[in-house]
Structure 1
Amino acid sequence: MDGDVMIAGFFPLYTLGTDRRNSDASHHESNTLFDFKYYQLVLALAFAVEEINKKSSLLYNMTLGFDIYSVDFRTWSAFENPFIWLSGQNKIPNYTCMGESKFVSVLAGTSGKTSAQIGTLLELYGFPQLTFGAFDSALSDHGKFPSLYQMSPKDTSLAIAMVSLLLHYKWNWIGLLISQDENGLSILAELREAMAKNRICVAFEHMISDSTKTQLINIMAIQNQINKSSANVLIIYGNKEYLLGLMVYLGQFLITSKVWLLNSQCDLCIGRNYFILGSFHVPLIFSYHHEDIAGFTDFIREVNPSKYPEDFYLAKLWFLSFNCSHSDSDCVMWENCPHDASLEWLPGQIFDMAMSEESYNIYNAVYAVAQALHEMFLHQTEEPTMGNGRWWVPSPAQLHPFLKNIQFYNPAGDQVILNEERKLEAEYDILNIWNFPEGLEFKVKIGEFSPYAPYGHQLSVSKDMIEWATGTTETPHSVCSESCGSGFRKSPQVGKAVCCFDCTPCVENEVSNGTDMEQCMKCPCDEYANTERNQCLPKAASFLAHEEPLGMALDCVALCFSTLTAVILGVFVMYQDTPIVKANNLCLSYILLISLMFCFLCSLLFIGRPNTVTCMLQQITFGLVFTVAVSAVLAKTVTVVLAFKATSPGRKMRWLLVSGAPNFIIPICTLIQVTLCGLWLGTSPPFVDTDAHSEHGHIIILCNKGSLTAFYCVLGYLGSLALASFTVAFLARNLPDTFNEAKFLTFSMLVFCSVWVTFLPVYHSAKGQVMVAVEVFSILASSAGLLCCIFLPKCYIILIRPDRNSLHGFKDKIHTGRKKPS
């Protein structure tokens, strides 16, 4: 398309190879493989030029034009067409046979290498080169490429965008396939940093060289590692130069279904056989976000060879796509083409109607040149026409000052900045390719990422829009180790990445209520862990309550025995004038029975919820009443011994018995115990305490002894009295007592001591309610032993054998007792 000012476009309109099926290799055009997907670049240039030419206010009725040249990906042939464009068909260096040039800028570079090769040549002539491929940091060297401008935004947020998607689907075990160039090394460092911050691990990592030989050597190793790895997500970054062969190979021979996270340049690597890939693998493409260009789709829809008859490439596309040849010859007959044929009919993998990133960059590049020309004309002091009436054409070098500082909004409303330091961060659309039979594809936007959104809301994904691999409806997993649920914590595996771990159950009284917890949390003292170890529950208060079966049983036993003691006391009062009652020291018997009654009743202080009063009364009451009881037994034992000694011939101890000396044993012994208890209460009295560790799920409410020394002094003193009583009774067991009082006292103290000797080890090994129950049981058992061993035989005689409770029976028993020794 001719114009007053021209733009040269170098586009990769052919593939890397040729069609060897055509035996006539001399016909270069016939054996060339066309890549019609790139033809959209030509249409984007044509659309932008036509749109600008319709706006007379932008270039003051000056028109833009363009020429299109094909450029090869191969570095050794990338110079060919640019050199012809500069020098003419004669290809004489530093000379041109083309006359006066109207070209002011060049559009080139789908890849960094191509841009660098062409840029080196164009720098000799000062031509501004606007690249429409992906941003390449190697081209940012303004000392080496001062005339090169990159239209594409920087990939400063691509790593964060990809990691955000990984976090969204909880993928943390990832494979990396990165091109071995400056861009690849840069994105690799950014990916590593972002992944490390978010605890995402690299399962394997490969750098892909652009060398075909190196790729062939490594490609089998890469395939084996991908198939063996448990990583189901791969991040693939690079451009067509690096990844074309690898992508085709992986798509056809990779066995395991994988999710591919691709940058937009990799989209071009998914060639015409994509139906093999898409049916088995899931590509998610991060494409630069841009607004739709109004009218572009309609423009493409109306394009046909009749509209652009000079475009032989379009004619070839029409010929191959719509079967326009005559039945008897290969001559193209437009009459044989469908009259309503349109590029819209072509499948997406051959020609895409949606504007690609490169096409959008070309559109902006054309507007950038127009804006620069507009600014240049505004700064001209002379009339911009020459004397012969033709437009004055600026030299390419004059355009640089205006291109460097250009900043404008394109018709779609997007801001365009060529200065790399002031470029905005890119926003990304996430695309998924839906596949249909015969390789038909349809790109669907399933999400977007904006670095300008608030943190946590930068990524948005429509989960229902993603087409996962064939036969799969669930989101794939890509983890080294399955997540540890609640009740477990992560335990790192030695020598492996942090994403590889074992799940270890939380120990007792520790919980984890989340997923993949590093540590279990210890429950507070007043709470305990449930069985699943995922929640702390309040501990129930535990004490020996009157309402519980054990408490009720002990209450009943205590009341029954205290009632029995009262009955026995009543019997003794009723039969106080009988010989057997008189013979057993009536006063001491009353004291012992009353003290035993209080012994049974004091056990009730140990049952029920402890409080300050009951805690102080428990041990003090127990110590005092048992001291009275044991000292009464001691007094009765001493009385028996004195009675026998006083009646023996030649003994002079009758005055001790007559004076009532044994009766002083009780107040003296009790006074000593009262002193010990007073010291206990005065120094460190018992108090209410809690034990949250001894019994799972319960807080034991108990009475703390306060001073263990005082407690054991009271208990030890009581034990010493019992031992003294047992010793005296044992020594007097064979005395010829009328009613075997010494033997009964001996046996009663044997039972008493046995109970309390057994009590000590059991008490110290028990916890909670059992500990209290043991002490109550010991109190009841020892008291019952005294009651039964001393008083039941007497009650038996009083109530059942009254014949033996008379003076005659008493004398008969004395006579019988005196005869037995002989």
Structure 2
Amino acid sequence: MAPEDTSLPLAMVSLILHFNWNWVGLTISDNDQGIQFLSYLRTEMEKNTLCFAFVNMIPLNIYLYMSRAEVYYNQILTSSSNVVIIYGETDSTLSVSFRIWTSRGMQRIWVTTSQFDVTTSKSDFLPELFHGTLAFAHHHAEISGFKNFFQSKNPLKYSDEYLARLEWMNFNCGVSAPMCNTLRNCSSNSSLEWLIAQTFDMAFSDGSYDIYNAVYTTAHAAHERLLQRMDNQEVHLGNCLKVIFLFDDTHCFPYQSLLEKTHFTNPVGDRVTMNQKEKLQPEYDIFQIWNFPNGLGLKVKIGMFSPYFPHGQQLHLYEDILEWAAGSRQMPPSVCSADCGPGFRKFRQEGMAACCFECTPCSENEVSNETSDVDQCVRCLEDQYANAEQIHCTDKSVSFLTYEDPLGMALTLMALGFSAFTSVVLGVFIKHHDTPLVKANNRNLSYTLLVSLIFCFLCPLLFIGHPNAPKCILQQITFGVVFSVAVSTVLAKTVTVVLAFKLTIPGKRMRYNLIPRASNFIIVICTLIQIILCAIWLGVSPPFIEIDAKSEQSHIIIVCSKGSIFAFYCVLGYHGSLALGSFIVAFLARNLPDTFNEAKLLTFSMLVFCSVWVTFLPVYHSTKGKVMVAVEVFSILASSAGLLGCIFIPKCYIMLLRPEKNSLKKLKKKASS
């Protein structure tokens, strides 16, 4: 008659999931029923990634149990699980062990069935320390009239063992014998009318309800048999009753075949069928049970489970009643490992249960913003970065050297200031173009050098601002060509100094008009070579916009890539070769007469130029982003300023502050001395 508990494991797992438990203990009887329940429960738990903290199989033999009782107790006591599932019979060693555990003050949430006796007799009960019991019972209605019938009975008229065990009934009754077969010292008019549902459950237990259905099933089968005999005019009432209640008359119609065909609706309204193929899965009521001293208990229905509802809606708890019965809607936790929380992920070591893990921070640029545990962190997109707590991704800001940036603004002001100053110097030279000092140093080459320096100072403006494809190309081409003109002009001035000195040597017949022609050839040829190198650069691998989202965590760096690094170093190396040639020639001509003292100035200017670009190489490779661009811009400004300051500032000083030295008489006096 009893329905199979095939849906009980699913019901218990649904309850465990509802309270976010994943680490539970299991204590069952070591018999076929317990092993079958363990198999079903393990299957359901594995589907939902739930784990057993321990599995205790209590032997049925009392002597074998007593030899291991302390082991079972310590297993539960030392476990980190706050929830223990108990499945077994009322009259078993499992019931004995449960009473021992509760009497020793073990505080756990016990999840069991209504068939299991969960009352205690502990006298020092503290509600705030005890978590109570959650019991699953087969869903059925209260038997009509049973409550009134039971409350009207006088316990003195009965020697029922069940009534004798109700010590808390307070009738001044005493148990006369250990077997509790009789009651004494009870008043003759005592009754059970005072009992209320909160202290005594008037609904049938599962076992009693099964007996209730069995009686009705037998009655229906007997009724069907009587009808058959009446139809066959073979009414033998005495023998039929004998078949029904004694089951030892082999002459009667086989009773089992009638039972298998019996199906009816009992007075409670539940459908009863004996056909195993038509039996429905049972529904369960869920009760919260609080145990008080002397066996008193408070049993409150807090929900139900129906396997016929859609998945995820089978469990329904009455939240308000649950809060009243448990004191809070939030049950105590029972997990193997605490939640990792945002910014962390679960890390499982080999051999650990699926519910047990360690928490490790997310890797760089990965986030975990979920409140629940996650196995893997989520990597931010290329244009995003993880914040310090690694809980969300933030859009990266675009980074490049802008005019509004303090560094960009400073370099812009320097470039404009130097170019303006160079223009002033050019104006001074033009104003004093007829003076001996300007004529002696080849004023045309001076004009060319000053104009090229103006463009050199303006060239860094191409490096500042949002990069684009035309600007990236103009940056390097302009830098390469303009600097080639400037350095080749310095080389031409150095060669001019040497040629002019050679023409003044007696006995040499050289035409003075060869000097301007030679200097012009030097500038044109040297610049043309650089233009060819830049053309090859553009044809092979031109500069382009590079978006770097990895170098800096919170920024997307936009820079102009050089394209071919080899071509860039060829252009830079060509500048260096021109500067080195100018330095060598100027150094050899440093001891020429003071009238032609520009050789010393050219020597020092090339020394400054080479020092700047030699220093540029390691610094450039050790920086990234806008700082790298700033290093290149600063090198352009510094080398250009070196040429301007070393070559032209001393001459401007003489022309503006010491004009008496800028005369033909003074120059001849210096030459004669």
TM-score (norm 1): 0.74
3-state SS, counterpart of residue 433 of structure 1: strand
- Equivalent residues of 2:81, 2:335 under 8 A apart: yes
Letter in 2 for 1:626: F
Letter in 2 for 1:502: E
Match of 2:177 in 1: none
Aligned ranges 1:102-113 → 2 under 5 Å: none
2:539 aligned with 1:682, yes or no? yes
- Equivalent residues of 1:562, 1:601 under 8 A apart: yes
Match of 1:337 in 2: 189
Match of 2:30 in 1: 180
2:298 aligned with 1:442, yes or no? yes
Counterpart CA distance in 1 for 2:578 and 2:541 is 24
| Structure 1 residue corresponding to 2:104, chosen from 242, 253, 277 | 253
Superposed CA offset, 1:518-547 (max 9, x none): 122221211111111111111111101111
Counterpart CA distance in 2 for 1:233 and 1:318 is 29
Distance 1:473 1:196, change over 3 A: closer
Counterpart CA distance in 1 for 2:26 and 2:657 is 102
Match of 2:178 in 1: none
- Equivalent residues of 2:137, 2:206 under 8 A apart: yes
- Equivalent residues of 1:511, 1:520 under 8 A apart: yes
Counterpart CA distance in 2 for 1:361 and 1:732 is 123
- Equivalent residues of 1:691, 1:701 under 8 A apart: yes
Q: Structure 1 residue 175: deviation in Å?
A: 1.6
2:497 aligned with 1:640, yes or no? yes
Superposed CA offset, 1:353-403 (max 9, x none): 23322222222222222332343344445367748x979547246331121
| Structure 1 residue corresponding to 2:578, chosen from 721, 729, 745 | 721
- Equivalent residues of 1:487, 1:511 under 8 A apart: yes
2:461 aligned with 1:604, yes or no? yes
Distance 1:378 1:608, change over 3 A: farther
Q: Structure 1 residue 191: deviation in Å?
A: 2.2
Counterpart CA distance in 2 for 1:664 and 1:634 is 11
| Structure 2 residue corresponding to 1:280, chosen from 130, 145, 153 | 130
Letter in 2 for 1:433: I
Q: Identity across aligned pairs (percent)?
A: 54
2:317 aligned with 1:461, yes or no? yes
Q: Structure 1 residue 290: deviation in Å?
A: 2.1
Superposed CA offset, 1:84-110 (max 9, x none): xxxxxxxxxxxxxxxxxxxxxxxxxxx
Letter in 1 for 2:389: E
Distance 1:653 1:691, change over 3 A: farther
- Equivalent residues of 1:543, 1:608 under 8 A apart: yes
Aligned ranges 1:694-713 → 2 under 5 Å: 694-713=551-570
Counterpart CA distance in 2 for 1:652 and 1:459 is 116
Counterpart CA distance in 1 for 2:619 and 2:183 is 112
Q: Structure 1 residue 304: deviation in Å?
A: 4.3
Match of 2:160 in 1: 313
Coordinate RMSD, CA, aligned: 3.0
Match of 2:179 in 1: none
Counterpart CA distance in 1 for 2:411 and 2:442 is 32
2:74 aligned with 1:217, yes or no? no
Q: Structure 1 residue 481: deviation in Å?
A: 1.9
2:254 aligned with 1:398, yes or no? yes
Match of 2:41 in 1: 191
Aligned ranges 1:52-63 → 2 under 5 Å: none
Superposed CA offset, 1:608-663 (max 9, x none): 11011111111111111111111111111111111112212344555674462122
- Equivalent residues of 1:487, 1:512 under 8 A apart: yes
Counterpart CA distance in 1 for 2:79 and 2:165 is 46
- Equivalent residues of 1:280, 1:469 under 8 A apart: no
Counterpart CA distance in 2 for 1:201 and 1:464 is 29
Aligned ranges 1:615-694 → 2 under 5 Å: 615-651=472-508, 654=511, 657-658=514-515, 660-694=517-551
Letter in 2 for 1:203: A
Match of 1:124 in 2: none
Match of 2:660 in 1: 803
Match of 1:366 in 2: 215
Match of 1:34 in 2: none
Match of 1:23 in 2: none
Letter in 2 for 1:727: I
| Structure 1 residue corresponding to 2:203, chosen from 354, 365, 387 | 354
Distance 1:167 1:643, change over 3 A: same
Q: Structure 1 residue 565: deviation in Å?
A: 0.8
Distance 1:805 1:294, change over 3 A: farther
Distance 1:324 1:687, change over 3 A: closer
Superposed CA offset, 1:221-249 (max 9, x none): 11122222212111111112241210110
Distance 1:731 1:169, change over 3 A: farther
3-state SS, counterpart of residue 541 of structure 1: strand
Superposed CA offset, 1:650-697 (max 9, x none): 445556744621221111111111111112222322121200000111
Q: Structure 1 residue 204: deviation in Å?
A: 1.8
Counterpart CA distance in 1 for 2:208 and 2:518 is 125
Match of 1:491 in 2: 347
Distance 1:344 1:423, change over 3 A: farther
TM-score (norm 2): 0.90
3-state SS, counterpart of residue 285 of structure 1: strand
- Equivalent residues of 2:302, 2:319 under 8 A apart: yes
Aligned ranges 1:723-738 → 2 under 5 Å: 723-738=580-595
Distance 1:401 1:469, change over 3 A: closer
Match of 2:436 in 1: 579
- Equivalent residues of 1:324, 1:336 under 8 A apart: no
Counterpart CA distance in 1 for 2:96 and 2:166 is 29
| Structure 2 unaligned spans of 5+ | 175-181, 245-252
Counterpart CA distance in 2 for 1:555 and 1:315 is 101
Distance 1:722 1:659, change over 3 A: closer
Match of 1:171 in 2: 21
3-state SS, counterpart of residue 272 of structure 2: strand
Letter in 1 for 2:119: I
| Structure 1 unaligned spans of 5+ | 1-150, 817-822
Match of 2:247 in 1: none
Letter in 2 for 1:450: S
2:333 aligned with 1:481, yes or no? no
